[in-house]
Structure 1
Amino acid sequence: MCRHSPRRLTEPAFCCFIVSNEAHSDPPSSHQTRRRHSLHHRDPPRLLAPSPYPPSHRLCRLRPGPRPSRLGPDRQLSWRTHQTDQPLRPTDTHGPPVVAQLPNTQGHLGAHLRIEPATPAPGEESMTRIAEPQLGFADLELRHQGVHLDPLLQAVAAFLDDQATLVEQVRQDLVRGLKNPNTGRSGITPSQALRSLILMRVKNWDYRELRERINDGYTLRGFTNFDSHRVPKHDAFNRAFTRLTPETMRAINQAVVQTAVQLGLEDGRCLRVDTTVVATDIHYPTDATLLWDTVRTVTRLVDKLHEELPRGVQGFTHRTRSARRRMQELERMSATQRQTQQVPKYRELLRITEQVLENARQVVKKTAKVKGMDVIRRAVIDQLCQQITAYRGLGEKVIDQTRRRVLDGEQVPVDEKVYSIFEDHTDLIKRGKQRTPVEFGHKVFLAESAQGLITDYQVLDGNPADTNQVKTSLDRHQQVFQHGPELYAGDRGFYSAENEEHCRQAGVSRVCLPQRGGQKTAEREALERSPAFKKGQRFRVGIEGRISVLFRGRGMKRCRAKGRERFEVLVGAAVLANNLLRIADLLLHRKPARLSKAA
């Protein structure tokens, strides 16, 4: 027994199997023998060269190591799904070919793994910041254990794997504005950003829950391509999603619809349309609350500016407490008190707001003359001054509309009103609904096919009539499907004699738009009572359910993102999640083609 054996039993030991061919090798020298015995007292050596034999993950228990680099010097470990009837062929690499094939299981996360060269394709850039992460050995083990995705998410993942152009659209947004995408920290990849956004809208999660769910479950890690790598914090997802543009989401949705047409899942022969209102994240606006918002927001920004300036801010008076008291008094007034006390209280609140805005203007003017600061602090101060100036402009509009409406008794036009200083793009929508007579947000036009795919969506400006959307929707449908629909169904808000004529010119054989107002002729009465017209109206009701799904399940009821662009991105992401789930469901329940009988 070796004299060092007791030490081996008490301390962690390393076991290394060395396979060598000693049939034609020289006998070891005494120096080599002493060196071999000395290795028992050291850390195990690293393998500097790959083995000529393919490793087997079935036989080896791999110890988790440090996070692998995203791009190796000449090779990269990647995974992709292949058809089961396609044999794997080794790729041309500098070293020996290594192919690890996992069992083919329905819904398995990744079927094959292989080492591929990391050189980019012709015309592509090698961007380390947004390169796809390399798989680790832990991913091999988990895939071998047969971890399954939800069948619907697995179908969505397989569909996204085949659509590389969708990821390219996201990549262009992520690198937009970067001086050198090849340098800096590694960020969220385009594939991870797109899949995480889809998952966020499918599950209707916020940013924190999205991060926790992905970090906690391996199936969602596989769907979002994070695998065993570290999942970033929730604000990283927010920054990545903020870089996406409405044009990108619209292009991705159009590509998804075109792919559904190519797969034979959609023909565009039936179309049902409707409009709805997506609310912005604002409180119910009143003149008093808008003035109070202006005072407290400008004061808060001036306080931040005071902390950044070397000598602080001079000549600014805090009036938040007095403004809040006037606002609360106005909001708590009864109908009788408003007749005598409303105008004097509004005069006081207007005077306070004007004083705060004038003081803020003087502060910004003096700050522009301050010198002797470093570049970083100067940039922060300039940004604060820009924000103060922007809120001052909105506050002046609020003061103007309050004075015209309350003091002068003028009816202010809708397009000249400000309903929120935080979401100034908000529109006032009146649709004649009894439960919600007034809504604040944006009107959204939706067109749905018979298969449940939203083939067209538009975020409208203001509150246009539904009759204005028929001709433009037919033109966009013609561009997508190269033909007009056979059935066009909508509610009575879309009806007009001109719209029926537009439908006939577009090749629509059945126009199911109920007449609105006026005396119906006998011919019109017979048309609306016909079985074909009633069937078309029953088909139209389906879009009401689709809107309900978008509101309750895809987070489109209220947009909590800031700005008009973020609003349109949210609508586009909800539509994209709906279309991908519908395509996945159609692919899962698609009946195989019947084989023709032999003659």
Structure 2
Amino acid sequence: MRKVIDLQMEFWKKDIANIEFDLESRDEIPKLLMGLQYIYSTANIRKMVFDILKQIVPKKNHKTGRPGMDLWKILVLGTMRLNCNWDFDKVHEMANNHHKLRQMLGHSETDFDSNYALQTIRDNIALLTPAILDEINQIVIKVGHSIVSTNKEPELRGSCDSFVVETDVHYPTDTNLLFDAMRKTISLIAIICSEIGITAWRQSDHNIKNVKRLLRGIQRLNRSTSKDEAKKQKRDQFIAAEHQNYINVCQGFVLKAKETIQILRELGILSLSQDLRLNIVEQYIRHAERQIDQIHRRVVLNEKIPHEEKVFSIFEPHTEWISKGKAGVPQELGLSVCVLKDQYGFILYHQVLEQQTDDKVAVAMAQGAKDRFDNLVGCSFDKGFYSPENKNQLANILDFVVLPKKGRLSAKEKEIEH
């Protein structure tokens, strides 16, 4: 059983509409809470948003069962997490100790015992799906337009651009990615074996240190700058031998891990949790085998590894190597996100670009924004979105399109653009 919000007032409990904020604060938290307060205080907006939030709960369980977290609390905590870029530990700390946030969640000043468990926060915020948030976003933007514009439905003129959201990864090389895979493989399988009473991996910490020692030795190696070809060749052979030794040691641990997994499964004594963890170990083994193959091909066979075969993090495999040509930023590690915003600063539509470039999503961005906001009449793009096909298709979607052409312009094209 879930309520949208508990409206029953208690002693020392402050009405959400009457919560006061520091208007001079430059932090994002008061601004977000004031926006949520406006949604709560405006009856027609609150009804529309609450009707959307009711989609979270299955209809058959809406009025039966144990009490769950109020849908308003889920919206508040989910909004804070996404906009402030918090992890769940940060949300947990703020929900239990931030005074204004707790008032927004409906707690009184003397309510010291109503704390949130970390797993409760994880499970409930996960209910806010992208589809639910997109519906709420459309309502909020339309209300925002009615506030900042005198017209009920102003003509919207958008601008589209992309930026990189960096992932939390270290600088990737094939050798340190292999170490990451080996470290997780050895440590995880050692934990499972110790739980069962198998001592085959009792020296796991020592084994990890050995692999790391070999990695550090490789990282200190430099190519010869001598003009003597014999010396350069000898140095290259030494570097190849060191890399070969490194991957041989790692290959030995991989084979041992595979044998251990086979024995554990044949014994039939694994719990469900242990079996699931073995599946994770197998994923790390596949990462290790790929890196061993790529190191061998690159160093020993002197091949060039195609970019599409490379992985830049074994923990966040969606990470991409992005070079946008910015001054002082040769590359960024993460994912590109394309946003289309209007003249008032509201984001009308967005899309995460996985293995895509700007010119592949220009039409989809314009069409997605137009489907949600029919009063969008024009949009500007930078040169990265240009293609002849995009220019023609965008002209059929929008009345006004600014799309500079890449490369050299003819006299007629200069006249059009300038």
TM-score where L is the length of structure 2: 0.80
Question: Which residue does 1:578 correspond to in 2?
Answer: none
The match for 1:287 among 174, 181, 184 is 174
Asked whether the equivalents of residues 175 and 181 of structure 1 are also in contact (C-alpha less than 8 Å), the reply is no
Asked whether the equivalents of residues 446 and 458 of structure 1 are also in contact (C-alpha less than 8 Å), the reply is yes
Alpha-carbon distance, 1:222 to partner: 2.3
Cα distance change, pair 331–235 in 1 and its aligned pair in 2 (3 A): farther
Cα distance change, pair 173–504 in 1 and its aligned pair in 2 (3 A): same
SS in 2 for 1:137: coil
The match for 1:501 among 384, 388, 392 is 392
Partner Cα separation in structure 1 for residue 15 and residue 326 of structure 2: 53
Alpha-carbon distance, 1:173 to partner: 5.2
Corresponding position: 1:148 with 2:20: yes
The match for 2:278 among 385, 388, 403 is 385
Partner Cα separation in structure 2 for residue 379 and residue 179 of structure 1: 29
Alpha-carbon distance, 1:432 to partner: 2.1
Partner Cα separation in structure 1 for residue 75 and residue 118 of structure 2: 15
Partner Cα separation in structure 2 for residue 180 and residue 194 of structure 1: 17
SS in 1 for 2:224: helix
Alpha-carbon distance, 1:134 to partner: 6.7
Describe the superposition over 1:190-217 as per-residue Cα deviations: whole angstroms up to 9, x where unpaired.
3212201223444555544544444345
User: After superposition, where does 1:113-512 map in structure 2 within 5 Å?
Assistant: 127=1, 132-133=5-6, 135=8, 137-140=10-13, 142=14, 147-149=19-21, 152=31, 153-160=33-40, 162-164=45-47, 166=49, 183=65, 187-203=68-84, 205-227=86-108, 228=111, 230-258=114-142, 260=144, 267=154, 269-309=156-196, 311-314=197-200, 318=204, 319-336=207-224, 339-371=236-268, 378-462=271-355, 464-482=356-374, 485-509=376-400, 511-512=401-402
Partner Cα separation in structure 1 for residue 48 and residue 267 of structure 2: 50
Partner Cα separation in structure 2 for residue 435 and residue 249 of structure 1: 36
Corresponding position: 1:523 with 2:412: yes
Asked whether the equivalents of residues 190 and 201 of structure 2 are also in contact (C-alpha less than 8 Å), the reply is no
Cα distance change, pair 479–143 in 1 and its aligned pair in 2 (3 A): closer
Size of the aligned set, in residue pairs, is: 389
Alpha-carbon distance, 1:301 to partner: 0.5
Partner Cα separation in structure 2 for residue 345 and residue 413 of structure 1: 23
Alpha-carbon distance, 1:505 to partner: 2.0
Alpha-carbon distance, 1:423 to partner: 0.9
Cα distance change, pair 258–180 in 1 and its aligned pair in 2 (3 A): closer
Question: Which residue does 1:71 correspond to in 2?
Answer: none
Alpha-carbon distance, 1:148 to partner: 2.1
Structure 2: gaps spanning 5 or more residues: 24-30, 226-234
Asked whether the equivalents of residues 492 and 514 of structure 1 are also in contact (C-alpha less than 8 Å), the reply is yes
Partner Cα separation in structure 2 for residue 181 and residue 412 of structure 1: 58
Partner Cα separation in structure 2 for residue 492 and residue 194 of structure 1: 38
Partner Cα separation in structure 2 for residue 394 and residue 179 of structure 1: 42
Describe the superposition over 1:180-237 as per-residue Cα deviations: whole angstroms up to 9, x where unpaired.
99556x5533321220122344455554454444434543212233443613144543
Partner Cα separation in structure 1 for residue 332 and residue 322 of structure 2: 5
Partner Cα separation in structure 2 for residue 394 and residue 137 of structure 1: 56
Cα distance change, pair 402–143 in 1 and its aligned pair in 2 (3 A): same
SS in 1 for 2:336: strand
Partner Cα separation in structure 1 for residue 61 and residue 275 of structure 2: 22
Asked whether the equivalents of residues 4 and 50 of structure 2 are also in contact (C-alpha less than 8 Å), the reply is no
Alpha-carbon distance, 1:159 to partner: 1.3
Asked whether the equivalents of residues 378 and 398 of structure 2 are also in contact (C-alpha less than 8 Å), the reply is no
SS in 1 for 2:313: coil
Alpha-carbon distance, 1:384 to partner: 1.5
SS in 2 for 1:433: coil
AA of the residue aligned to 1:363:
T
Asked whether the equivalents of residues 40 and 46 of structure 2 are also in contact (C-alpha less than 8 Å), the reply is yes
Partner Cα separation in structure 2 for residue 307 and residue 279 of structure 1: 37
Structure 1: gaps spanning 5 or more residues: 1-126, 530-599
Partner Cα separation in structure 1 for residue 202 and residue 256 of structure 2: 6
AA of the residue aligned to 1:397:
R
Asked whether the equivalents of residues 313 and 363 of structure 1 are also in contact (C-alpha less than 8 Å), the reply is no
Asked whether the equivalents of residues 192 and 226 of structure 1 are also in contact (C-alpha less than 8 Å), the reply is no
The structure carrying a bigger helix percent of its residues is 2
Asked whether the equivalents of residues 267 and 481 of structure 1 are also in contact (C-alpha less than 8 Å), the reply is no
CA RMSD in angstroms comes to 3.3
Describe the superposition over 1:218-269 as per-residue Cα deviations: whole angstroms up to 9, x where unpaired.
4321223344361314454334334544344334334434555677676452
AA of the residue aligned to 2:69:
I
AA of the residue aligned to 2:198:
G
